[in-house]
């Protein structure tokens, strides 16, 4: 480490690519390394870890998929001491829960970025109470809390006592996600017809992201619109269920499954409509990326998403879990090419004016300095 640099431990729950992981990658790609010396701790391996190492960020793995895993706290504490860490930045609940106690034992300040809360209205009472208590502990013990969306901040204030945070919106690389760039032909690579209308999902295959809702919505419209295809990009515990669900469908030849890809801009360039049918969100990076690429987006009316999307202007919103409404909304976009184009153009304007990764990084760097003063 060069003399005078501020050594920071950036912590994330997993090495797979998701919203929080994309946020961390953007931060690491843009952080001022003449001032800061970042080290990353991930609690699993994955493509994000590979990418971090490619760009020269030292990355450690302490494996756990559990929150508040006290059996790992000793390893975390040792890492803090060995690396002479001056500040911890924990991204998400699991990362914060597995670093907050070692941070306090070593006297290391910790910033907690909330990429969406771990408590939700659809949870049973016991689970919700436990998760609320966990979040209350984390926000109380952190040196500073960051909300990635004002709506997430409001949700926290409604549930947690004396919750305070600074809002710093997620940002993306606007040079990378630029529809004017040239991209490889993803449709040709994946065997998707050039003349079809392509609906795309890029997210984890989890209950949270509701991939099965989208699949069922597509099935309802598919017989009436044979030109429509669906591309499902991602991995997760519902992927096998999704494959089994569609295996016997007549529409299966028009549904294309693919694991996570590094060339997300190229995938989006090949797409016409982007769908994110989540039950909840922080401030979804994937949504920002799709909008920056000028795609018509369909999202659920949940925290984070509704902060970015103005219904009928730069996107369309549906109620979470409503298969019929999602199907009808997609049909509307398929039928109305002008609406498809207008929404995409407005989406570009929204993201380029507000959600720039360089601006996000500068604001976070200012907080780092402030906490260490």
Which pLDDT value is given to residue 2?
46
In the chain, where the domains are located:
6-171+356-372, 186-354
User: Cα 239 vs. chain centroid, distance in angstroms?
Assistant: 18
- Report pLDDT digits (tens) over 275-323: 999 999 989 999 999 999 999 999 999 989 999 999 999 999 999 999 9
Rounded-to-integer distance, Cα 352 and Cα 184, Å: 23
The percent of residues in the chain predicted with pLDDT above 70, rounded, is: 99
CATH 3.40.50.11540 fits 186-354, yes or no: no
Rounded-to-integer distance, Cα 333 and Cα 178, Å: 22
359 has pLDDT over 50: yes
Give the model's confidence band at 3: pLDDT under 50 very low, under 70 low, under 90 confident, else very high.
low
Tokens for 145? 């809390």
Query: What is the residue-averaged pLDDT of the chain?
Result: 96
60 has pLDDT over 50: yes
- Report pLDDT digits (tens) over 193-227: 999 999 999 999 999 999 999 999 999 999 999 99
Which pLDDT value is given to residue 121?
83
Q: 307 or 18, which is more confident?
A: 307
Rounded-to-integer distance, Cα 234 and Cα 267, Å: 12
Query: Could you tell me the strand order of the sheet in which 197-202 lies?
Result: 255-258, 228-233, 197-202, 273-276, 296-300, 316-318
Give the model's confidence band at 1: pLDDT under 50 very low, under 70 low, under 90 confident, else very high.
very low
Which pLDDT value is given to residue 71?
98
pTM: 0.89
> For residues 58 and 29, is the Cβ–Cβ distance under 8 A?
no
- Report pLDDT digits (tens) over 69-117: 999 999 999 999 999 999 999 999 999 999 999 999 999 999 999 999 9
Provide mean pLDDT across the span 126-149. Answer: 98
- Report pLDDT digits (tens) over 7-16: 999 999 999 8
Q: What is the DSSP letter of 161?
A: T
Domains 6-171+356-372 and 186-354 equal at CATH topology level? yes
Tokens for 148? 């990635």
Tokens for 117? 């809360």
What CATH number belongs to 6-171+356-372? 3.40.50.2000
């Amino acid at each position: 480490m060069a003399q005078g640099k501020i050594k920071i431990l950036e912590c994330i729950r997993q090495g797979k690519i998701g919203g929080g992981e994309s946020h961390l990658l953007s931060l690491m790609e843009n952080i001022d390394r003449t001032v800061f010396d970042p080290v990353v701790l991930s609690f699993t391996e994955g493509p994000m870890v590979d990418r971090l190492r490619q760009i020269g960020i030292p990355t450690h793995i302490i494996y756990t998929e559990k929150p508040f895993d006290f059996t790992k706290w000793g390893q975390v504490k040792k890492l803090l001491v060995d690396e002479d860490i001056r500040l911890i930045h924990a991204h998400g609940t699991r990362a914060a829960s597995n670093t907050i106690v070692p941070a306090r034992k070593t006297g290391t300040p910790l910033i907690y970025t909330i990429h969406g809360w771990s408590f939700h209205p659809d949870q049973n009472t016991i689970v919700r109470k436990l998760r609320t208590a966990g979040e209350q502990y984390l926000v109380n013990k952190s040196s500073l809390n960051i909300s990635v969306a004002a709506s997430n901040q409001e949700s926290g204030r409604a549930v947690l006592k004396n919750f305070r945070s600074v809002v710093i919106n997620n940002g993306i690389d606007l040079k990378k996600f630029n529809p004017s760039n040239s991209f490889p032909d993803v449709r040709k690579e994946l065997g998707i017809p050039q003349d079809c209308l392509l609906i795309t999902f890029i997210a984890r295959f989890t209950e949270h992201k509701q991939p099965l809702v989208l699949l069922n919505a597509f099935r309802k419209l598919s017989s009436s619109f044979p030109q429509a295809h669906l591309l499902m990009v991602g991995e997760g515990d519902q992927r096998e269920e999704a494959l089994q669900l569609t295996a016997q469908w007549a529409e299966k030849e028009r549904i294309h499954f693919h694991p996570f890809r590094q060339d997300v801009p190229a995938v989006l360039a090949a797409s016409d409509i982007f769908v994110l049918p989540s039950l909840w969100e922080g401030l979804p990076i994937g949504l920002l990326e799709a909008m920056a690429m000028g795609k018509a987006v369909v999202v659920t009316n949940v925290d984070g998403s509704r902060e970015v999307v103005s219904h009928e202007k730069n996107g369309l919103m549906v109620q979470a879990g409503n298969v019929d409404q999602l199907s009808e909304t997609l049909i509307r976009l398929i039928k109305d090419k002008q609406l498809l184009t207008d929404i995409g153009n407005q989406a570009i304007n929204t993201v380029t004016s507000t959600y720039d990764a360089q601006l996000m990084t500068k604001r976070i760097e200012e907080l780092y300095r402030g906490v260490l003063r």
